[in-house]
Structure 1
Amino acid sequence: MNITGKKAVVVGGASGMGLASAEALAAGGATVAILDREASEGKAIAERIGGIFQPIDITDFEEAEAALATAVEQLGALHIAVNTAGGGTVKRTLGRNGPHDLGSFRKVIDLNLVSTFNMNRLQAFHMSGNEPEDEERGVIVNTSSIAAFEGQIGQVAYSAAKAGIAAMALVMARDLGPQGIRVVAIAPSLFATGATSKFTDQQVAPLVADAAFPKRMGRPEEYAKLALAVIDNPMLNGQALRLDAGQRFAPR
Structure 2
Amino acid sequence: MNPSGAIAIVTGGGSGLGEATARALAAKGARVAIADVGMDKALKVAEDLGGIAVKCDVSSAEDGDALLATVTGKLGTPRILVNCAGIVAGMKTVGKDGPHSLDLYRKVIEINLIGSFNMIRLFAAAASAGDPLEGGERGVIVNTASVAAFDGQMGQAAYSASKGGIVGMTLPIARDLARSGIRVCTIAPGIFKTPMMAGLPEDAQASLGAQVPFPPRLGEPAEYAALVCHIVENQMLNGETIRLDGAIRMAPK
TM-score by length of 1: 0.96
Structure 1 residue 59: Cα displacement? 2.9
Q: Name the CA distance, whole Å, in 1 between partners of 2:107 and 2:31.
A: 32
Q: Which amino acid aligns with 1:29?
A: G
User: Amino acid of the residue matched to residue 188 of structure 1?
Assistant: P
SS of corresponding position for 1:150: coil
Superposed counterparts of 1:134-149, under 5 Å: 134-149=135-150
Residue identity in the other structure for 2:148:
A
Matches of 1:215 and 1:87, distance apart in 2 = 25
**Distance across 1 between alignment mates of 2:44 and 2:102:** 37
Q: What is the one-letter code of the residue matched to 1:27?
A: A
- The aligned residue for residue 190 of structure 2 is 189
Q: How does 1:85-234 map to 2 (within 5 A)?
A: 85-133=85-133, 134-234=135-235
The answer to whether the 8 Å contact 1:209/1:215 transfers is yes
Unmatched 5+ residue regions in structure 1? none
Q: Could you tell me which amino acid in structure 2 is paired with residue 102 of structure 1?
A: L
Number of aligned residue pairs: give it: 252
| Distance across 2 between alignment mates of 1:17 and 1:139 | 18
Structure 1, residues 1-32: CA drift from partner, whole Å, max 9, x if none?
01111111111111011001111111101111
Q: Which moved more, 1:62-71 or 1:223-232?
A: 62-71
Q: Distance in 1 between matches of 2:198 and 2:22?
A: 19
Percent identity between matched residues is 48
Distance 2:53 2:206 in 1: 37
CA contact (8 A) 2:80 2:139 kept: yes
SS at match of 2:54: strand
**Residues 126, 155 of structure 1: CA spacing in aligned structure 2 closer, same or farther, 3 A cutoff?**
same
Q: 1:211 deviation in Å? A: 1.5
CA RMSD of aligned residues (A): 1.2
Q: Secondary structure at the match of 2:216?
A: coil
* Conserved 8 A contact 2:174-2:239: yes
Q: Does the aligned pair in 2 maintain the 1:208–1:247 contact within 8 Å? A: no
User: Comparing 12-21 with 208-217, which one deviates more in the overlay?
Assistant: 208-217
Match of 1:70 in 2: 70
4+ residue runs over 4 A deviation? none
Alignment partner of 1:51 is 2:72 = no
Structure 2 stretches lacking a partner, 5+ long: none
Paired amino acid for 1:147: A
What residue identity is the alignment partner of 2:92? R
Partners of 2:33 and 2:17 lie apart in 1 by 15
The Cα of 1:232 is off from its aligned counterpart by 0.3
* 8 A contact 1:6–1:79 mirrored in 2: yes
Whole-Å separation in 2 of the counterparts to 1:225 and 1:198? 24
